[in-house]
Amino acid sequence: MQQKSLLNYFLVAIVLVTMSSCTPNPNVYTIARSNTPESQPVTLGERAKDLVGNSGLKAWSAKDYERFNDEKDYISTFAEPAMKEMKLYGVPASITLAQGILETNAGRSKLVKESNNHFGIKCHDSWKGESVSHDDDAAGECFRKYRNPLASYRDHSQFLTSRPRYSSLFELKATDYKEWARGLREAGYATDKSYADKLIRIIEKHDLAQYDQQTIGKRKRMLKRESRKERVAALLNDTKKKLAETTRRTKRMGKEATKQIADAGRGLAHRVTPGDTLYSIAKRYEVTVEAIKKMNILDSDNLSIGQILEIPRSK
């Protein structure tokens, strides 16, 4: 019976490795936001390594932007970074790409060529990095400057996730680009009253929502893999515990069996306690007083507390 039970555990483990599992709703991202106040600078951070790989944040100059002739060129270049940012921070890739296209004129604006600033993020009091002056709502405003577009993409993600005024955006579904666009405008990201409509038009013109779906699909598959791993690990851990318990039980039974065999051959041992008499001991083990006296070579009925008596087997 024990062998069949153990076999069943292993069969279940094998089935779980291959079966699909239920996953949380991937449309809603839970973002671990920073509690850093707005007065502190938002830096590239350690997680940039996940995004830039071995590129070492190679510096871009105006010459690197000569490849951009239209919005499709911009999308083909930055779709993958946008999806990686969505995976890490929860900002929809469609929104990131649309903002990049709008703010840089698809990689052709003077500001982006001078600063690699893809999202029109101004310096604010918190910025400690390099900057450039650019005319926007007022003449000669301070804009952040980056070494590489990827640094701008990372700063954009951290800019949104670390500021309380954008926190309500992360309660929205990651696929609801329309509400995201409106939420950005309402939170004061841009002063242009038609900012949200412009983002939505760009997203729908190029079907940028497909990149949100692709990211969610990848995340869903990842969650399934992780869920399977966790369930299999739990099952194997449970099986390991049961095997250990079976081993302990088998050892215990073996010891008891050995003791019973020994007792059957030589009788039992009884330690004399207060109140014991040869008569009470003989009655307890269903033997005679004479048999106990004979086995223990006793010439009287007197017993001592703590004395060990060997008890013969009852017939």
- Taking only the tens place, the pLDDT of each residue in 235-258 is 777 778 877 888 888 888 777 766
Whole-number pLDDT of residue 252: 80
For residues 26 and 174, give the distance between their C-alpha atoms in angstroms, rounded to a whole number.
9
Q: How far is CA 288 from the centre of its chain?
A: 71
Q: Please state the domain extents for the chain.
A: 31-207, 267-315
pTM here?
A: 0.56
pLDDT band at 199 (very low <50, low <70, confident <90, very high): very high
- The pLDDT value recorded for residue 45 is 38
**% of the chain at pLDDT higher than 90:** 46
Percent of the chain residues past pLDDT 70, beyond the cut: 74
The alpha helices in the chain, defined as continuous H runs, are 2-18, 48-52, 71-89, 93-104, 110-115, 149-161, 177-186, 195-205, 209-266, 278-285, 289-296
Q: Which two tokens stand for residue 135?
A: 């005319």
Q: Is the pLDDT of residue 135 over 90?
A: no
Residue 276 has pLDDT above 80, yes or no: yes
- CA-CA distance, 309 to 315, in Å (whole number)? 18
Mean pLDDT, residues 105-127 = 93
Q: What is the mean pLDDT of the chain?
A: 79
Q: Looking at residue 26, what is its pLDDT? A: 36
pLDDT number for residue 219: 66
Q: Cβ contacts of residue 248 below 8 Å, gap of 6+?
A: none
Contact in structure between 309 and 281 (CB atoms under 8 Å): yes
pLDDT-based confidence at residue 32 (cuts at 50, 70, 90)? very low
Report the C-alpha gap between 24 and 226 in whole angstroms: 12
Hey, what CATH class is 31-207 in?
mainly alpha
- Is there a shared CATH topology between the 31-207 domain and the 267-315 domain? no
Q: Which whole number is the average pLDDT over 118-138?
A: 88
Q: For residue 35, is pLDDT > 70?
A: no
**Residue 286 tokens, joined:** 């269903």
- The answer to whether the beta carbons of residues 181 and 200 sit under 8 Å apart is yes
pLDDT at 243: 79
CATH 3.40.50.150 assigned to 267-315:
no
Q: What is the pLDDT of residues 216-225, one digit of tens each?
A: 887 666 656 6
Q: Which residues pair with 105 in a beta bridge?
A: none
Query: Cα(195)–Cα(191) distance, rounded to whole angstroms?
Result: 8
| Distances in whole angstroms, Cα of residue 219 to Cα of each of 111, 150, 160, 201, 292 | 34, 21, 21, 27, 78
Check residue 245 and give its pLDDT.
Answer: 81
